[in-house]
Amino acid sequence: MDKIELRKLYSSKKLIDEAKSQIILNKAADFIDKYNDIKLIGIYLPLDNEIDLTKLMMQFVDKKFAVPKILGDNLCFVNYYPGANLQANEKFLGYYEPMSNTEVFPALIFVPAIAYDIRGYRLGRGKGHYDRYLAKHNIIRIGVSTSSKLLMNLPNEPHDFRMNYVITEDIILDLCH
């Protein structure tokens, strides 16, 4: 299957089981503990088929969090806190982002995807925002997904970036070695 067909197939899996989501949140928290010296962490505002990592902000009140914002064709990260004012992105319906345009640079980011493969490649939404961002920033990349969306092999292209880790409710792939 090509990326377009895979997006259609795996985007339709909307509901995430709460128990699985909690296991993934716990594993994400373990990574924040593992990289305790990092004070600014990149998460994302979840769409309806993505794990909600914003819950981590209540657990790690000593950390700062940032979420992606799309400016033109580029992704940047801006500070985020619970209750921050959000605005709809004019280009991407259903996508909300902070009003701030002040870019910050997290050293670790959790990256959503429609699906991942066991090599750490992701199937994104097809606009290349994360790949362009990752090409410019040397940061720790942690993919977040459910096991049902962890595939053996996704088509990838030279500009596609692999994750350092992929976490699901069933497994943690360490792809750093």
CA distances from 66 to 73, 78, 82, 146 (A): 19, 5, 11, 23
Q: Give the alpha-carbon dihedral of 10, 112, 96, 71, to 10 degrees.
A: -110
Please give the CATH architecture assigned to the domain spanning 3-174: 3-Layer(aba) Sandwich (3.40)
Q: Where are the domains of the chain?
A: 3-174
Going by C-alpha positions, the residue among 87, 68, 74, 52 that lies closest to residue 127 is 74
Model-level pTM?
A: 0.92
For residues 115 and 75, give the distance between their C-alpha atoms in angstroms, rounded to a whole number.
20
For residues 136 and 70, give the distance between their C-alpha atoms in angstroms, rounded to a whole number.
15
Q: In 27-61, which positions are buried (b, 16+ CB within 10 angstroms) versus exposed (e)?
A: bbeebbeeeeebebbbbbbbbebbbebbbbbeeee
Q: Are 44 and 19 in contact (CB under 8 A)?
A: no
**Tens digits of pLDDT across the chain (177 residues):** 777 777 676 676 556 788 999 999 999 999 999 999 999 999 999 987 889 999 999 999 999 999 999 988 899 999 999 889 999 988 888 889 999 989 999 999 999 999 999 999 999 887 889 999 999 999 999 999 999 999 999 988 888 999 999 999 999 999 987
For residues 11 and 170, give the distance between their C-alpha atoms in angstroms, rounded to a whole number.
20
